Amino acid sequence: MREISFDTETTGLNPRTGDRLVEIGGVELINHVPTGNVYHVYINPQRDMPEEAFRVHGLSAEFLSDKPLFEQVADEFLEFVGDGTLVIHNAAFDMGFINFELERCGRRSIPNTQVIDTLEIARRKHPTGPNSLDALCSRYGIDNSKRVKHGALLDAEILAEVYLEMIGGKQRALILDPDEEDVLSASAEGASEPGELGSFNARPRPAPLAALLKGDEFAAHQAFIEGMGDSALWKKYGG
């Protein structure tokens, strides 16, 4: 599964009233693990930089004046995204700008089905808030001390950490034995129905566990299983 933790910086709040993209940052995740593959570009907005926006990200019109136009990087941006899922905090804002710029230069827009909004995830998990990126960093103990000003790539990197904490995805990265990862994958692929165990070769115990049921208890247990019918999972998996 390929996902891209994603962020943008802009000249303002609304592309429909003349605001433009000035920076894009993306961090690739494969099966919830950062790969080190990133996308980052500054963009010439072909307009002035409002003071309010400059205070947020520190990108001046002079600095951006020799950077490429969006239409010059649109194809490489779409190639990087591919069919991956964009993971965005407050996705409506960033996707409003991205799709406006894509449509403006005649490229395909990115559908909502290709986007995960971490703000929505955060609101479900923490309904009392606050759920800003900085607040979530504080909640999950993520170091955001370098975030003096907003920057698309830095924010995408921080968002990736927040996202993984919210969904528990970091736990997969803690598997030390590659064979265990194969077993987990085989288990998921082998399962055909919800609740059905996948077919894989489990590692045998060095010594069998001692039986916990004794005498009459074991007989009562067997009688209980028989009463569940031939489809009982206990029978199928050796209970």
Buried b (16+ CB within 10 A) or exposed e, 179-198: eeeebeeeeeeeeeeeeeee
SS3 30: strand
Q: Strand 33-42 vs strand 2-10: parallel, antiparallel, or unpaired?
A: unpaired
Which tokens go with 64? Answer: 């951006």
E strand or H helix that includes residue 2: strand 2-10
Whether 150 is catalytic:
yes
Which tokens go with 68? Answer: 């490429």
Question: Measured between alpha carbons, how far is 25 from 12 in angstroms, rounded to an integer?
Answer: 17
- Of the candidates 40, 57, 89, 150, the residue annotated as catalytic is 150
The H-assigned helical ranges of 1-69 are 51-57, 61-64
Catalytic residue IDs: 150
